Structure 1
Amino acid sequence: METGMQKEMVMGLFLLLITLSGVRAWTGEIHGRVVCDVCGDSSIGPEDHALEGAEVAVLCITKSGEVLNYQAFTNSKGVYTVAETMPESDRWAECMTRPISSFHEHCTQLSDANAGVKFSYKNPSGYSQAIKPFLYQPANVPMYCI
């Protein structure tokens, strides 16, 4: 598993190679969270918790019309991240994120309000786009929520 420092070194080498080839590089990032909405109230409160291992799909269309499909899984804090470095002329133009599945045995029902998020990616190189959290709910709401 790569450490943060290894990731940064690989990204730096890639950027250097693109720069040396005369192509202007662009780097983008999309990140968000996946949370178990324990009470099913569509808001994040103290009773809710991050879902580790939840799967999220990110689909982006580049300025040149290429369709890029990414798959991401959440870490222990429920955070997923997709990042890409490419020539400026091929950068992301439109993207859509959507939750695919939760592997948490008690929180697998996707909230109706969270089918997916479509957006234009207008951030300059080196910036990230934060997506609102995707919420899953338990099949049975605990008594303390009622």
Structure 2
Amino acid sequence: METERRNLVLVVMGLLLLASGVKAWTGEIRGRVVCDVCGDKSIGPEDHVLEGAEVAVLCITKSGEVLNYQAFTNSKGIYTVAETMPESERWDACLARPISSFDDQCTRLGEGSKGLKFNYNRPSGFSHTVKPFVYRPASIPSYCA
């Protein structure tokens, strides 16, 4: 339902931009947040996605404007940020970083999950997928040894 509503809003915004004579551009950034239960730096059957994890995405547009987005993961551990704007204002570079995990057990940020910078060079209508952010428990369960 949320995805359908977001897509409808993007379509309407795109139509409004086209009606005004401005070429519209739509971008999307998505990624996952996972709990690495055994802290072994690999995603396996013992691991699970984190619903409700908070992620911040900061993008700089071609014109130099800084846009700050906040997203939360869904039941599949996926977060999405999307925007429709004039082509001349499209994203140029972005930084995605995890903010918090609301899972009681999995609260420590894993190595390499501090944040990711990337250039956004996708054409309109395409998404950029960020590698998963990983949290791990404060203490590793005994069955992991």
TM-score class, shorter = over 0.9
- Which residue number corresponds to residue 59 of structure 2? 60
**Ranges of 4+ aligned residues in structure 1 off by more than 4 Å:** none
Which residue pairs with 1:108 in the alignment?
107
Q: In the alignment, does 2:10 pair up with 1:11? A: yes
| Alignment TM-score, normalising by the size of structure 1 | 0.96
Q: What displacement does 1:3 show?
A: 4.1
Q: Name the counterpart of 2:142.
A: 143
List aligned pairs for 1:1-146, cutoff 5 A: 3-146=2-145
| Aligned-partner residue type, residue 122 of structure 2 | N
Whole-angstrom CA distance in 1 between matches of 2:8 and 2:50 = 29
Instruction: Find the residue that maps to 1:75 and give its secondary structure.
Output: coil
For residues 102-126 of structure 1, the C-alpha deviation after alignment (integer angstroms, 9 at most, x for no partner) is: 0100000001221110000000000
Q: Do the aligned partners of residues 114 and 7 (structure 1) sit closer, same or farther apart at CA in structure 2, a change above 3 Å counting?
A: closer
In structure 2, the gaps of 5 or more residues are none
In 2 relative to 1, CA 123–74 (structure 1 residues): closer, same or farther, beyond 3 Å?
same
Give structure 1 stretches of 5+ with no counterpart: none
CA distance in 1 between counterparts of 2:135 and 2:43 reads: 11
TM-score when normalising by structure 2: 0.96
1:16 offset after TM fit, Å?
A: 1.0
The number of residue pairs the alignment matches comes to: 145
Cα deviation 1:34-80 (Å, max 9, x = unaligned): 00000001110000000000000000000000000000000011000
SS of aligned partner of 1:108: strand
Instruction: State the Cα distance separating 1:6 from its structure 2 match.
Output: 3.3
Whole-angstrom distance in 2 between the partners of 1:115 and 1:56: 11
The DSSP-based 3-state class of the residue aligned with 1:70 is strand
**SS at 1:141 equivalent:** coil
